Amino acid sequence: MPLTNAQTAKIFKALCDENRVAILQLLQSGSKCACDIADHLNLAQSKLSYHMKILCESGFVECWYVGKWTHYKISIEGSLAAITILQALTTIDTDNVASSCESVL
């Protein structure tokens, strides 16, 4: 089932903040506890929670709980879905190219 425009926008919203990009870069080396992410990026827990909510809702990040600690890791499935969506959005459909202008770039 194709994603709605709102669902697609949610995926790319996750990438439009430098803190969230930094979190993804930190998670490239493996799963991390929320406290480690907050310490490494010097983020307050409430700010980290906000960013992690967006990353998890987008599908880029998965979370799980160990006792009172929340752990995060990059979701391979979410990353592949975002790549597929970006590719679909930016691929020109040569069968349906139309322009109302005389000149086409």
**Tens digits of pLDDT across the chain (105 residues):** 677 888 888 888 999 999 999 999 999 999 999 999 999 999 999 999 999 999 999 999 999 999 999 999 999 999 998 999 889 888 887 777 666 666 555
List the Cα angle 34/28/17 in 5-degree steps: 70
Q: Which one-letter amino acid corresponds to residue 21?
A: V
Rounded to a whole number of angstroms, the CA Rg of the chain reads: 18
CA distance 60 to 54: 9
Class of domain 5-86: mainly alpha
The reported pLDDT for the residue numbered 5 is: 85
Note the helical H segments in 31-75: 34-41, 45-58
Contact 41, 19 (CB under 8 A): yes
The reported pLDDT for the residue numbered 7 is: 83
